[in-house]
Amino acid sequence: CLWVRNLRLKRRLPGPFAWPVVGNAMQLGQMPHITFSRLAKKYGNVYQIRLGGNDIVVLNGDKAIREALIEHSTEFAGRPDFVSFQAVSGGNSMTFSSYSKQWKMHRKIAQSTLRAFSSANSQTKRAFEGHVVAEATELVGIFHSLSAEGRYFNPGHALTVAAANVICALCFGKRYGHEDEEFKTLLGRVEKFGETVGAGSLVDVMPWLRSFPNPVRTIFLDFLDLNRQYFDFIQSKVVADRETDAIIGVIEAEGNTGLTEAHTDSTVSDLIGAGLDTISTALHWNCLLLAKYPDIQTRLQETIDREVGRDRLPTMEDRSALAYLDAFTYETMRYISYVPVTIPHSTTSDVTVDGLLILKDTVVFVNQSSVNHDPLTWKDPHVFDPSRFLDEDGRLDKDLTNNVMIFSAGKRRCIGDQIAKVELFLFLAILIHQCHFEKNPSQDLHLNYTYGLTLKPLDYKISAKLRGEPLIGT
């Protein structure tokens, strides 16, 4: 019978002993991705843990993850039917809905929207780059004033506002001042989003924790509330701008496909949400690492000064000459792995990986950080060294950069990877050209963080002094 078959198959997956009721929840610790890698050393790259009532398969290492996500892309394209996932983007999120015909259409529309930002010579692409330059130059001024009189500051909030403004300017034709308290509060709440949907969150796997007062219930209620507030904000802007708006025009031009207006709103909401937290987190780590590794910062500044000069700002046209800057971005992605585990997946049918059978509808955690520290792929994986990505001629080694896994792979691969790289390049090129980042000599700069869908650096302070007169525009 089916029950006996399932029991037999389940036994075949290795994994740690699971306690009644909680399973392995108490063993995950503060850094679940590190725990997952440690467990892989004992049980192999494909193993099973139990969280509350869910059996979950954890995938680790370059080989097993690529085998699963690329060779069996359809089987791993599902999302679990978690209650928290249904609260995102008014219940119509593409990112958090499972594999279906409708999801495929929704993803296609979101992809073609983003293509407008990166296709050569398009107006949207130029507008996008223009907004990044405007926000980056504004940041330079803000960093300068926050560093006045020898002060040190945490750049986190300013970076979040800057990243949010790029996408709001593009979507709604409106940006918000760094002093706009209402906007800052909204963004502060969105920053907490990843606590609930990150792999290892207990909100969905132990539903009974939601029924009486405890910290998990508080996180869940906050999550519902922040999603409502955020989606209301997006909807009010979308409704206001439906007639004139560039991005909505692109989405709805594609729209004769059975998706409703609600799907347009959720596409805008998905794209803004996905781009906001990831980009600001990336920039946050980049600033911290520049201050922590002054020799690397000096090499970056010398490279940019040599290729761009001091009398104009860097532009996208400089990118091919600034391979070391791309190398720095890739090394930050690899070394920090600031999206350590993907959004949880689920299997759409029975599937075998690394010789082990995984049943249909199994929740799957994909430990990206284990790929980025896999000793079979990387020499000295625990050393931060951007130059590992340059070949003998100083060019970016594409084979090596392709080995970094932060945008996932297969059918659920991030659709914003190209514009994310453009945005990071422009922000960083301008910030490094204009500012010198320094740590407070009386404090050690640590790399501690809080865990969630993205890793957030824990409180630290730096200064960012101007490297000469600021240049506004090129």
Instruction: Give me the residue label for tokens 């207006």.
Output: 261
The alpha carbon of 146 is separated from its chain's Cα centroid by a whole number of angstroms, namely 27
- Give the sign of the dihedral formed by CA 111, CA 117, CA 118, CA 123: positive
**Greatest extent of the chain over all pairs of C-alpha atoms, in Å:** 76
State yes or no: 414 annotated in a binding site. Answer: yes
**Which range of residues in 307-315, 318-326, 356-364, 401-409 is near ligand HEM by CB under 6 A?**
401-409
The strand pairing partners of 435, in sequence order, are: 466
The H or E element spanning position 254 is: none
Which one of 39, 169, 363, 419 is in contact with ligand HEM (CB under 6 A)? 419
CB of 299 to ligand HEM, least distance (A): 22
CB of 40 to ligand HEM, least distance (A): 18
Backbone dihedral region of 86: left (phi > 0), alpha (psi from -120 to 50 degrees) or beta?
Answer: alpha
Query: How many residues of this chain interact with ligand HEM, rule: CB under 6 A?
Result: 23
245 is a site residue for ligand HEM (CB under 6 A): no
CB of 3 to ligand HEM, least distance (A): 31
326 is a site residue for ligand HEM (CB under 6 A): no
Three-state secondary structure call for residue 352? strand
270 is a site residue for ligand HEM (CB under 6 A): yes
The strand pairing partners of 70, in sequence order, are: none
Which one of 386, 416, 452, 457 is in contact with ligand HEM (CB under 6 A)? 416
Residues 143, 435 contacting (CB under 8 angstroms): yes
Percentages of the chain per state (helix, strand, coil), in multiples of 5: 55, 10, 35
In the DSSP assignment, the letter for residue 216 is H
Three-state secondary structure call for residue 415? coil
Tokens found for residue 206: 């132990």
Nearer to ligand HEM, 11 or 101 (CB): 101
Encoded one letter per residue, x for contact with ligand HEM by CB under 6 A and - for no contact, window 85-124 reads ----------x-----------x--x--------------
Which one of 57, 169, 271, 363 is in contact with ligand HEM (CB under 6 A)? 271
282 is a site residue for ligand HEM (CB under 6 A): yes
407 is a site residue for ligand HEM (CB under 6 A): yes
Task: Calculate ∠ Cα 439-442-445, nearest 5°.
Answer: 45
Binding residues for heme: 414
Contact positions toward ligand HEM, by CB under 6 A? 95, 107, 110, 270-271, 274-275, 278-279, 282, 339, 342-343, 366, 406-408, 412, 414-416, 419-420
Binding residues: 414
